[in-house]
């Protein structure tokens, strides 16, 4: 008979109550979250939005129930997000702004869609005025050669009047015509403005806020043209424009002089580098200090040339007095120049070998460690160019072992990289 003892129903209920009391001491997991109750009625989705992935070769369209309309354009690795153009059949927001979107490119001098004066910002900053001064009056006039200004319609009694191209000119008593360069037409508002008063005048006038009283335009335009405020704004326009041109010319002249100065410095530096590299001479010495006998071949030759070259001597004196000034004589600069010159020399060698009358070459490979005890291959080619034999060094290639397969893969991959076909090798020699 089993020794197991079974609890009575009363004992089981007491144990359950005890366990419930223990568990109630701790907060429930649901107390840490907010639960939104959703009824049995299904949510109605007002519209389906499209996510379009547009690529240069193909396009894919994926429908997604999402509250925002998104279009993803991927072109040449560039990914941009923008809203999909609305469908006229869709329900529109009655409070949505219907004004067309126009952008201003702040990084350039071009004012995008801002030749329409009413679209200018309410407060004109100096940077905005400077960009306007880069333009001519004709940029802001919006002159229509067909004389079609339908948006300028204005009621005058029972008839409509329109703006005309004749107002862009003033006819003198002797019959001569003078252009009103300052007068500008707004395609969006159908009004005319004075661009100089809009930019520089502090007084309010109809030609600053927009004029469209075509029945009295001849009188009012003449009155505005003779006003002191308009004359002052015209003078301000030409004065600032002339000053800006003068300043720009001064800056251009200063930049040109600096370019010429550094060009002549680099010309001397490159000549010294060519002299040393052709002879395989070391560039650096024990210290990099001007005037020291141990500053190396490069700095020593520069000092020698400066004794007979006033331009280079003046540049060295400036560099010694102001160490923060760019000198183009540092080791970092001439190492970059050597790298650029080396690439150009390599390109010239490859171009010579790949010519039809050359085409074939021999390969010479040697192995030698550098100062850091890294084993490396010296790649040399020999070829005949214009009837003369040439032996040219190409590069050093670091290697990890000397197995024939590894060496072949290393050499062949490099030759393919610089566009020298293996099939054109007619001889090869190896050392070490």
- Interatomic CA distance for residues 259 and 253, integer angstroms: 10
First to last CA, the chain: 94
Q: What are phi and psi of 192, to 5 degrees?
A: -115, 150
Q: How far apart are CA 425 and CA 25, in angstroms?
A: 87
Closest to 197 in 3D by CA, of 235, 152, 241: 235
Q: Give 427's strand partners.
A: 362
Domain boundaries, the chain: 49-82, 117-226, 243-329, 354-430
Cα atoms in the Cβ-side hemisphere of radius 13 Å centred on 288:
8
H or E stretch at 368? strand 361-369
What residues have CB less than 8 Å from 234, skipping those under 6 apart? 182, 196
- Number of helices (H), then strands (E), belonging to the chain: the values are 11, 14
Asked if residue 297 lies in contact with residue 285, where contact means CB atoms within 8 angstroms, the answer is yes
pLDDT tens-digit profile, the chain (432 residues): 556 677 788 888 888 888 888 777 766 666 655 555 444 444 444 444 443 333 333 333 433 444 444 443 434 444 443 444 444 444 444 334 333 334 444 443 344 457 888 888 888 888 888 888 888 888 888 888 887 888 888 876 677 888 888 888 888 888 888 888 899 998 888 899 999 898 888 888 888 888 888 888 888 988 998 899 999 998 988 888 887 766 777 788 888 888 998 999 999 999 999 999 988 899 888 888 888 889 889 999 999 999 999 999 998 888 888 777 788 888 888 899 999 999 999 999 999 998 888 889 999 998 878 777 788 889 999 999 988 999 999 999 988 888 889 889 999 999 999 999 889 899 888 876
DSSP-assigned beta bridge partners for residue 259: none
């Amino acid at each position: 008979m089993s020794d197991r003892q079974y609890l009575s129903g009363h004992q089981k209920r007491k144990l359950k109550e005890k366990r419930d009391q223990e568990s109630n001491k701790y907060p429930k997991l649901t107390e840490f979250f907010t639960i939104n109750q959703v009824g049995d009625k299904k949510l109605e989705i007002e519209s389906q939005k499209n996510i379009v992935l547009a690529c240069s070769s193909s396009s894919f369209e994926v429908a997604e129930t999402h509250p925002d309309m998104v279009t993803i354009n991927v072109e040449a690795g560039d990914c941009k997000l923008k809203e999909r153009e609305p469908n006229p059949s869709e329900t529109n927001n009655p409070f949505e702004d219907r004004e067309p979107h126009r952008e201003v490119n702040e990084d350039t001098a071009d004012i995008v869609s801002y030749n329409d004066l009413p679209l200018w910002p309410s407060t004109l900053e100096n940077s905005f005025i400077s960009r306007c001064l880069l333009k001519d009056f004709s940029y802001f006039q919006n002159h229509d050669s067909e004389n079609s200004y339908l948006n300028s319609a204005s009621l005058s009694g029972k008839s409509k009047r329109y703006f005309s191209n004749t107002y862009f000119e003033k006819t003198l008593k002797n019959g001569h015509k003078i252009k009103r360069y300052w007068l500008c037409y707004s395609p969006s508002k159908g009004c005319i403005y004075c661009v100089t008063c809009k930019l520089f005048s502090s007084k309010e006038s109809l030609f600053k806020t927009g004029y469209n009283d075509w029945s009295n335009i001849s009188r009012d335009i003449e009155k505005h043209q003779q006003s002191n405020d308009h004359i002052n704004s015209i003078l301000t326009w030409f004065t600032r424009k002339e000053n800006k041109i003068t300043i720009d010319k001064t800056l251009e002249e200063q930049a040109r002089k600096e370019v010429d100065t550094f060009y002549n410095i680099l010309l001397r530096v490159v000549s010294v580098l060519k002299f040393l590299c052709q002879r395989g001479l070391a560039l650096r010495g024990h210290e990099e200090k001007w005037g020291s006998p141990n500053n190396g071949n490069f700095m020593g030759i520069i000092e020698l040339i400066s004794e007979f070259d006033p331009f280079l001597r003046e540049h060295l004196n400036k560099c010694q007095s102001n160490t923060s000034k760019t000198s183009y004589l540092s080791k970092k600069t001439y190492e970059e120049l050597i790298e650029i010159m080396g690439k150009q020399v390599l390109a010239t060698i490859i171009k010579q070998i790949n010519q039809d009358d050359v085409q074939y070459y021999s390969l010479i490979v040697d192995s030698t460690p550098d100062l850091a005890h890294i084993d490396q291959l010296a790649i040399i080619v020999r070829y005949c160019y214009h009837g003369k034999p040439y032996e040219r060094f190409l590069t050093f290639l670091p290697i990890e072992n000397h197995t024939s397969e590894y060496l072949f893969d290393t050499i062949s991959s490099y030759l393919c990289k610089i566009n020298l076909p293996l099939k054109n090798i007619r001889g090869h020699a190896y050392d070490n």
